[in-house]
Amino acid sequence: MLTERHLQIFVALADEQHFGDAARVVGITQPPLSQGLRRLESLVGAKLFERGAGSVELTPAGAALLPYARRALASMEELHQAAVSRDPEGPEIRLGLTPEVPPASGAALAAACAAAIPGSRVTVVTSPTSTLVNQVTTGRLTLAAVQHPTVLDGLDAGRVVLLPTWALVPETRTLSSRATSGNAVSPTAPPGAVGLRELRGLPVAVRPRAEAPAARDLFMDTLALHRPDGGTVVVTDERAGLAMAAAGQAMVVTADPTLTAPGVRRYRLADDPLPLRLRLVWSRTRTPFLRPDDVMAQLTEALAS
């Protein structure tokens, strides 16, 4: 059965001419993208792309079918918008949150969405930034709180919100005397704050780069600047990182002020070198019930609170 996802894969490959870039646009990894393409070619009974060294090109059959695929996707989007505008129960706000958003911030944002659009119904999903951007682009989500920086693919975006972070460190880890004496941090740092250089020797738990490539690169570059040793270890989520910290195997940088566990100490990072950078993204053309000049400013304030 031909699905909307098949058409999204076809159009993304035609536009990007690269499997990796097309997978990022669709919000999936390369293996399911390749499987989807094979299924689509089987359904239409024609080879749509010629595979080259790191790139793909449309075949004559693919070039002939591409305009139909674009029109079909456009028609599906019109159907989605018609369903929203004619819903007697009011518009549904489909809110996406990147996993790094602290629970209290996500709850405040969801409540603000319900208050800003009277009669609306708010549903919330959590996915990596790259997936959220794609889902907002395709209309599957109304708006999303994503990590900054990221490629926005033509979406509108609010101002960047900076949330302070803490370091979760195993209790068995002894900080250097410079950290405890205060000589390693600036005079304006909060009491008990430590510099990244004092947290040496342990890898920092990080999520996979593919989830938010630009934001992860900025994090890694800043980490290398302030803490040239220790390295990183990839974890699936903050809970896995917290477990590694409790086991004495890693440290975690988090914006969640409630995240803790026995065997773990929390430290404010001096001068906030690694703030969590978030911003709201939405499509102005796909959200007629949102007025970005006022509503989105309110929602951004809720995210920052």
Q: Which of 106, 140, 114 is nearest to 8 (CA)?
A: 140
Whole-angstrom distance between the N-terminal and C-terminal Cα of the chain? 46
The answer to whether 33 and 9 are in contact (CB under 8 A) is: yes
Q: Could you tell me the pTM of the whole model?
A: 0.70
SS3 string, 145-162, reads EEECCCCCCCCEECCCEE
From first to last of the 305 residues of the chain, give the pLDDT tens digit: 788 888 989 998 999 898 888 887 776 778 888 888 999 999 999 999 998 776 889 999 999 999 999 998 888 777 766 655 555 566 789 999 999 999 999 999 999 999 888 788 899 999 999 999 989 988 889 999 999 999 887 788 999 999 999 999 999 887 654 444 444 445 555 667 888 888 888 899 999 999 999 999 999 999 999 887 889 999 999 999 999 999 999 999 999 999 999 999 999 988 889 999 999 999 877 666 665 567 888 899 999 98
Domains of the chain: 4-85 (1.10.10.10), 92-161+277-304 (3.40.190.10), 165-274 (3.40.190.10)
Tell me what pLDDT residue 293 has: 62
- Which two structure tokens, joined as six digits, stand for 186? 């600036």
Pairing of strands 56-58, 49-51: antiparallel
